Structure 1
Amino acid sequence: MQLPPSSFSLRPVTAVLGPTNTGKTFYALERMSAHASGMIGLPLRLLAREVYDKMVARKGAQAVALVTGEEKVIPRSARYFVCTVEAMPLEREVSFLAIDEVQLAADPERGRVFTDRLLYARGRDETLLLGSDTMRGILSKLIPDIGFVSRERFSHLEHVGYKKVTRLPRRSAVVAFSADNVYAIAELIRRQRGGAAVVMGALSPRTRNAQAALYNEGEVDYLVATDAIGMGLNMDIDHVAFAGARKFDGRASRHLTPAEVAQIAGRAGRHVKDGTWGPTADCPGFPDELIEQVETHRFDPVTHLQWRNDRLHFGSLPALLRSLEQPPPRRELVRARMGDDEEALRRLSSRHDIRDLAKGGAALKLLWEVCQVPDFRKVTPDQHAVMLGEVYHQLLDQGRIREEFVARQLSRLTSTEGDVDALSTRIAHVRTWTYLSHRPGWIERGSHWQDEARRIEDTLSDALHEKLTARFVDRRTSVLLKRLKDDAPLLAGVTEDGEVIVEGEFVGRLLGFQFILDPRAEGPHAKSVRFAALKALRPELAARAAQLASAKPDEFTLTDHGTVTWRGSEVARLSKGPQPLRPDFRLVAVEHLPAGALPAIEDRLRDWIADRVEGLAGPLVALQKAVNRGGEGEGVLTPGARGVAFRLIENFGAISRRQIASEVKALEQAERAKLRDLGVRFGEYTIFLPALLKPAPAQFLALLWSLWTDTPVGTHPAPKAGATSIEADEAVPHALYYAYGYRPSGERAVRIDMLERLAQEIRKAREDAGKQGFEASSRMMSLVGVSGEPFEGVLKSLGYKKDTVTRPVEAKPAPEAQAPQGETPPADAASAQTVATDPAVQDAPNQQPPAEPVPDVGPMTEEQADEASPPAGTPSEPEAPQTSAPAAEAPHAAPTEAAPVEESLAEGQADAEPQTKAEAETETETVTLWRWAPPQRQPRGQRSGKPQGKGQRSDRSDGRQDQRGPRKGKGKGPGGPRKGGDKGPRTYSSAPPRREKKADPDSPFAVLASLKDD
């Protein structure tokens, strides 16, 4: 059986056959350019766009037309037409005509169109058929007098075996056969190798060109694509890796043929540059026979081409369907399987409304044209048929597709939000309307809707390109690796907020001298990115080092945790130094600075830290200088005063008076005066420097204490600024409380100056009460900011004992002076936490004054302090640990202070006469009084259960030996003669008698003594 005579032509036909990379397409363009007009049919619209750009460069935009299913650019003076095979306008006569990749005539899905073109499409003067050498035999049978031109491959193609995706060489293309696999492999390459471009047939030409540019221009070294790259796309590829060996051909999944493998692998190597290929990912190894076929370009010849009758009958629907089923005229041709257009026709013909409209003639022909609209959306056949039915109804009823219908459909597709799949779906829908708008006469104002559809597609294409790039390309890594490879200087800058930009890409932040890499920089190239960033930052780091070396004092800040910041960034951290007031430091993140810049930075920081120490701990620094000053003369401290000063420095400005009682009592008035001139205050309970009790100096001294004792900074939280007392924590060393300016007192830690003012208030109350004990007042409670049991704990820690007595109502003291046991003073007084007039808390915010003003009884004289201070042997308070010892050795028991000895009220009551009946009937009240109650001592030899050696004491509350030497008494208090007779055997010290001091006869304590004698 022969083809109809009309299928033959006397015009010359030449078949240019050979493997890939033989320059067949280039040869065709050269031949077309030599003719006055021409047309070339290409297998892919992506390739059509590429060839169109080349022809425009040769002949100019006005001479070249682009015709694809959904894109038509046809200038009025167009002489050269670049088309997809399906869209070739064969009604135009041209001098030259070429069909590329004619071996696709054997493809089950598209072969019938290629077969039709190679049989019937001809140029007036010359026709070229380009393809594989496997077509030689069947072309010679179908086309008489055809000429053949064989072309050899320019480069060698070699199989190199399996390679992991992460080990593929640069300039590789990975070929997968589904969108999901393409995305998965591209994501893997992005994480491991910096990124990959993505090319798929479903992409719009604009998106595909943008992605291809990423690869061709070297921004990425890897390409992940479908088998679309096998159809003539010219890219600089060195290695082709197959991620699979099966593909879905539109009906079923099947193995690739050797010719298809060769077509795809042949993209490796361009012109004279050799290429390699092989499997990767989950692709199994290729058989040796297939490898040999690919490398030698020897394949089984094509024996059959796909064919479908193109001479259709439109008399009726049954007649049209029968003509589509007509068998092929020759045995070299096989009837193609049902195409999408034929399937749509059969589905629509089953509808009564369509059958009633398409009974024959022009209506039936229009229906066939509508059915040929491609299913760009890739929806189900039923959905596609529904859309085609709507279009057909509108064309028959109104002669046009309604503009409002087109506008409504396109308006749903304008959003650029969503992921890659969402944008790809919208582009596919837009392609449908682009195709419809190019059908002559189908849409009113067709050119307008062509432009609108193209505008929407371009917008979506740009968004899709950005999404693909953001998802699959680490542009930063790619750019930096490329620049490092070229060893070119890197352009870098640092924004005001510290963002580091290298070659236009954000790579991290620069905080001071510390570079923090962007956490999104991951994978094996993270080190390379860091190296590139630091290389570019060298000038900036050197400039910052110079600025730091000459920085002004207000550019630095010291945090509570010992961190020195410069312009808000950490540059150093304090550490333990050679002396308590000379902390050291270590620089932070300076490993990338020039070595020559470090000495100047260290000198500047050392000066600033010294200024900071002198500014916040100035009185202590002055005391240190006085201790270090030798010689004799005015202003020079004596050894005794230097010893007291050294103990204050060692304890960071505050020390329990009892701990250095002997040293203090040994001081002359002139020595004390020198210490007072240096800011030292001799309190009843504590020797301290009042200027250091303010929040800022106290916080700083606590920091120095932590550094000096190797205690982690911030382990124990600081007291709230301005608090007069806080709850004592057993885990906090007492020495740290003293550094903060607080003295542990029972379950509370009371600010030192407030405790001294409490002592003054108690002294005044004792003077007023005489022999009787005093009552706690709201004024006392307001000084320490607590009442009830916590306040009682403070008094007990000071050596006072409460007693409940009954007395007549007439003897009831003023209400404001009472604080009966178990009752809470008025809320406005008892809950006061600070004293507004206190200079130590004037800077503390939101402090409330006490309800009643606390009278200032004035500082005690030295004699009063000595009289009020507890004797050296009074075990009322455990010693606060020396700061030179580890913090863990500090005792945690709440310390107490002894007060001057007062005669027991109970003893006086024991001697009182019994009450008379009238007195018993007198109205009485019960009150709580506080009296000094020193602990009873046992004979020295009986206190510890074993004999005591000479010069030793065992009067510590914890029973440990006290090595401070013999006890010195003054004839009063627990160590001297006790009024009321001996309470037990006495042991006298062998130490030489101490020089007695003359007491002030006008002091309150002298008055108390005289009252007791009476």
Structure 2
Amino acid sequence: MSDEVSAGVTAVLGPTNTGKTHLAIERMCAHSSGMIGFPLRLLAREVYDRVVAIKGANRVALVTGEEKIVPPDARWFLCTAESMPDRDVAFVGIDEAQLGADPERGHVFTDRLLRARGREETMILGSEALRPMIKKLVPSAEIVNRPRFSTLTYAGAKKISRLPKRSAIVAFSAEEVYAVAEMLRRLRGGAAVVMGALSPRTRNAQVAMFQAGEVDYLVATDAIGMGLNMDVAHVAFASLNKFDGKRQRRLTVAEMAQIAGRAGRHQRDGTFGALSDDGPGAFLPEEVLAIEEHRFPRLENLYWRQGEPDFSSIDALVASLEARPPAGVLRAAPQALDLGVLKRLAEEGWVRERARHPAMVARLWAACGLPDFRKVGLDPHARFVSRVFGHLSEGRGHIPHQWFADEIARLDTVAGDVPVIAGRIAATRIWAYIAQRADWLAEPTLWAARTAALEERLSDALHASLTQRFVDKRTTALMRQIGADAGALPVVIGPEGEVMVEDHPIGRLDGFRFTVAADARASDKRLLLAA
């Protein structure tokens, strides 16, 4: 990855379902080495699995904040944008580069767009809205437009009970996701759940249920919009407002289109709509037209922050991170969490005393880069980072074995409901991130393996908990058959009168009287009797 080479830069622009990511994978695999930066760990992991199938596990690396798989002979790297290593490779790809306009992470994507280059070929992937930014910031780039493979059509508003099968319902908070999934369990037998905070293991297990047809509905956060490909025919918006970290606001048309575009993949047409036909949850006519015709406002600015900060002192570091961008289309990035944490720690005399040399200033900045996976906010997170840096800046510069072990042991329990287990996974991700810093621990390989194993156990427990809470297999089996030929209904009556549909016990038959299974939830009995 180098900013000295700009030859061979191609910007591939277009809406969703144009095959941009597939093209980048194809181009990367045609080179002797390569790297692609993605916006999500889940997406990096998905593409890593695809490239492993092509090139073999011993030649392919996965690099994210919490997970690193880097074989000695690795030549192709799949990474999150923040974790792209500084390596000389033949091909570099940057996915979803329009995220340079995102206030929180935009400066990372802008930096990659400006400086990440492959030795032989560079490919920038993004929406058509990015075109004027490419022309001004990378004038030598060849711009290629790709049309959508299938048609995306507005299908109007539909209540949850009227949604067609193979629908994805998109919500914008964990609470809303759980509420929609619970309603689908009651009305339609259940749903798979996909959120950005899920581990790849949980996400894959949930998607596998949906893809296999075990459930016909999927409830997701807007993480679904970032290239996660599933067999979805219709996308329904539970809401058109989201909290962006600072305020509650309506989605932009581009954001709506990014999510709606998950419907109808490859040559299959798709539809989108809302759950409400009036009020703030309803689409406006001009929004529908823009989404269907893929016409969105062009980006006028991208966020920028110094990609090579000054580590000569804490004050110099802060000044370089707050420096104004060159005149033009670049805008200074709003203060991100890492810079906010740095400023808080810079107020501490002991921090300034220890970070008096460039190497320690760089170490302080690395500690400030710890993500707030728990979403606890600036002050609590800054206190945690302060403790981490305290250990990194004393003695051998390692986090104490006992502290790490105690925290892992505290998290190593699968008791609790869905939010509790999800919270433990978020906390585990912090320790997994720490374990991937080779010079932060005396035995990083050991602790990386321990945290990975813990995340797997918690992920399996979360998948089981999600399935238990949001999927009722008896109702799903019956709903799948409603409307079909009654003679084809796969009902089996056992020797003791037990009634089963597709091997799921639903009750028992005593003479001509059907009794719902005793362990059925009260809310399901009405559906079972009605079936």
Residue number among 353, 356, 381 corresponding to 2:353 in the alignment: 356
Residue number among 459, 464, 467 corresponding to 1:469 in the alignment: 467
Query: Counterparts of 2:44 and 2:526 in 1: how far apart (Å)?
Result: 40
Corresponding position of 2:15:
19
Going from structure 1 to structure 2, the CA distance change for 1:490 and 1:114 (only over 3 Å counts) comes to same
Give the C-alpha shift of residue 289 in structure 1. 1.5
Give the C-alpha shift of residue 501 in structure 1. 4.5
Query: Counterparts of 2:59 and 2:81 in 1: how far apart (Å)?
Result: 20
Corresponding position of 2:502:
503
| Residue type of the alignment partner of 2:460 | D
C-alpha contact 2:191 2:218 (8 A) present in aligned 1: yes
C-alpha contact 1:493 1:502 (8 A) present in aligned 2: no
1:68 and 2:64 equivalent? yes
Corresponding position of 2:417:
419
Q: How does 1:189-268 map to 2 (within 5 A)?
A: 189-268=184-263
C-alpha contact 1:66 1:73 (8 A) present in aligned 2: yes
| Residue type of the alignment partner of 1:438 | Q
Partner SS, residue 505 of structure 2: strand
1:77 and 2:73 equivalent? yes
Give the C-alpha shift of residue 529 in structure 1. 7.4
Query: Counterparts of 2:349 and 2:423 in 1: how far apart (Å)?
Result: 32
Going from structure 1 to structure 2, the CA distance change for 1:530 and 1:181 (only over 3 Å counts) comes to closer
Give the C-alpha shift of residue 515 in structure 1. 3.4
Give the C-alpha shift of residue 526 in structure 1. 5.4
Query: Counterparts of 2:286 and 2:481 in 1: how far apart (Å)?
Result: 43
Corresponding position of 2:272:
277
C-alpha contact 2:177 2:220 (8 A) present in aligned 1: yes
1:93 and 2:92 equivalent? no
Give the C-alpha shift of residue 272 in structure 1. 1.4
Going from structure 1 to structure 2, the CA distance change for 1:525 and 1:229 (only over 3 Å counts) comes to farther
Going from structure 1 to structure 2, the CA distance change for 1:522 and 1:158 (only over 3 Å counts) comes to farther
| Residue type of the alignment partner of 1:413 | L
C-alpha contact 2:241 2:281 (8 A) present in aligned 1: no
Task: Provide structure 1 residue ranges, at least 5 long, that are not aligned to the other structure.
Answer: 1-5, 532-1014
Partner SS, residue 350 of structure 2: helix
C-alpha contact 2:392 2:398 (8 A) present in aligned 1: yes
C-alpha contact 1:109 1:249 (8 A) present in aligned 2: no
Q: How many residues are matched?
A: 524
| Residue type of the alignment partner of 1:370 | A
Q: How does 1:894-913 map to 2 (within 5 A)?
A: none
Give the C-alpha shift of residue 9 in structure 1. 2.9
C-alpha contact 1:517 1:530 (8 A) present in aligned 2: no
Going from structure 1 to structure 2, the CA distance change for 1:528 and 1:271 (only over 3 Å counts) comes to farther
1:394 and 2:391 equivalent? yes
Corresponding position of 2:114:
119
Corresponding position of 1:9:
5
Query: Counterparts of 2:247 and 2:530 in 1: how far apart (Å)?
Result: 49
Going from structure 1 to structure 2, the CA distance change for 1:368 and 1:488 (only over 3 Å counts) comes to farther
Query: Counterparts of 2:426 and 2:488 in 1: how far apart (Å)?
Result: 43
Corresponding position of 2:151:
156
Give the C-alpha shift of residue 285 in structure 1. 2.0
Q: How does 1:360-399 map to 2 (within 5 A)?
A: 360-398=357-395, 399=397
C-alpha contact 2:190 2:476 (8 A) present in aligned 1: yes
C-alpha contact 1:317 1:360 (8 A) present in aligned 2: no
| Residue type of the alignment partner of 1:34 | A
Query: Counterparts of 2:337 and 2:98 in 1: how far apart (Å)?
Result: 21
C-alpha contact 1:104 1:114 (8 A) present in aligned 2: yes
**Over residues 477-529 of structure 1, what are the superposed CA-to-partner deviations in whole Å (9 max), with x where a residue is unaligned?**
22344467598674747487x65444342312344664311262667995667
Going from structure 1 to structure 2, the CA distance change for 1:465 and 1:365 (only over 3 Å counts) comes to same
Query: Counterparts of 2:492 and 2:88 in 1: how far apart (Å)?
Result: 59
| Residue type of the alignment partner of 2:426 | A
Going from structure 1 to structure 2, the CA distance change for 1:525 and 1:478 (only over 3 Å counts) comes to farther
1:48 and 2:41 equivalent? no
**Over residues 743-789 of structure 1, what are the superposed CA-to-partner deviations in whole Å (9 max), with x where a residue is unaligned?**
xxxxxxxxxxxxxxxxxxxxxxxxxxxxxxxxxxxxxxxxxxxxxxx
1:303 and 2:300 equivalent? yes
Query: Counterparts of 1:51 and 1:493 in 2: how far apart (Å)?
Result: 46
| Residue type of the alignment partner of 1:508 | G
| Residue type of the alignment partner of 1:454 | A
Give the C-alpha shift of residue 142 in structure 1. 0.6
Give the C-alpha shift of residue 231 in structure 1. 0.6
Give the C-alpha shift of residue 97 in structure 1. 1.1
TM-score normalised by the chain length of structure 2: 0.94
Partner SS, residue 412 of structure 1: helix
- Whose relative contact order is higher, 1 or 2, with alpha carbons under 8 Å and at least 6 apart? 2
Corresponding position of 2:101:
106
| Residue type of the alignment partner of 2:515 | I
C-alpha contact 1:521 1:529 (8 A) present in aligned 2: no
| Residue type of the alignment partner of 2:231 | D
Query: Counterparts of 2:148 and 2:410 in 1: how far apart (Å)?
Result: 49
Query: Counterparts of 2:353 and 2:499 in 1: how far apart (Å)?
Result: 71
RMSD: 2.1
Partner SS, residue 394 of structure 2: helix
Query: Counterparts of 2:443 and 2:281 in 1: how far apart (Å)?
Result: 54
Query: Counterparts of 2:99 and 2:274 in 1: how far apart (Å)?
Result: 24
C-alpha contact 1:391 1:401 (8 A) present in aligned 2: yes
| Residue type of the alignment partner of 2:455 | E
Q: Percent identity between the aligned chains?
A: 52
Moved more, 313-322 or 40-49: 313-322
Q: How does 1:311-330 map to 2 (within 5 A)?
A: 311-330=308-327
Partner SS, residue 323 of structure 1: helix
**Over residues 851-901 of structure 1, what are the superposed CA-to-partner deviations in whole Å (9 max), with x where a residue is unaligned?**
xxxxxxxxxxxxxxxxxxxxxxxxxxxxxxxxxxxxxxxxxxxxxxxxxxx
C-alpha contact 2:11 2:125 (8 A) present in aligned 1: yes
Query: Counterparts of 1:441 and 1:204 in 2: how far apart (Å)?
Result: 25
Query: Counterparts of 1:55 and 1:136 in 2: how far apart (Å)?
Result: 29
Structure (1 or 2) with the larger CA radius of gyration: 1
Query: Counterparts of 1:177 and 1:359 in 2: how far apart (Å)?
Result: 44
Query: Counterparts of 2:184 and 2:6 in 1: how far apart (Å)?
Result: 54
Residue number among 429, 433, 436 corresponding to 2:434 in the alignment: 436
| Residue type of the alignment partner of 2:391 | Q
**Over residues 335-378 of structure 1, what are the superposed CA-to-partner deviations in whole Å (9 max), with x where a residue is unaligned?**
00111110111111112221221123222111111000111111
Residue number among 449, 452, 475 corresponding to 1:451 in the alignment: 449
Going from structure 1 to structure 2, the CA distance change for 1:56 and 1:488 (only over 3 Å counts) comes to farther
Give the C-alpha shift of residue 452 in structure 1. 0.6
| Residue type of the alignment partner of 1:21 | N
Give the C-alpha shift of residue 395 in structure 1. 1.6
Give the C-alpha shift of residue 218 in structure 1. 0.9
Query: Counterparts of 2:247 and 2:193 in 1: how far apart (Å)?
Result: 25
C-alpha contact 2:516 2:525 (8 A) present in aligned 1: no
Q: How does 1:852-871 map to 2 (within 5 A)?
A: none
Partner SS, residue 475 of structure 2: helix
Task: Provide structure 2 residue ranges, at least 5 long, that are not aligned to the other structure.
Answer: none
Corresponding position of 1:339:
336
C-alpha contact 1:494 1:510 (8 A) present in aligned 2: no
Going from structure 1 to structure 2, the CA distance change for 1:370 and 1:231 (only over 3 Å counts) comes to same
Give the C-alpha shift of residue 311 in structure 1. 2.6
Give the C-alpha shift of residue 444 in structure 1. 1.5
Query: Counterparts of 1:233 and 1:356 in 2: how far apart (Å)?
Result: 46
| Residue type of the alignment partner of 2:129 | T
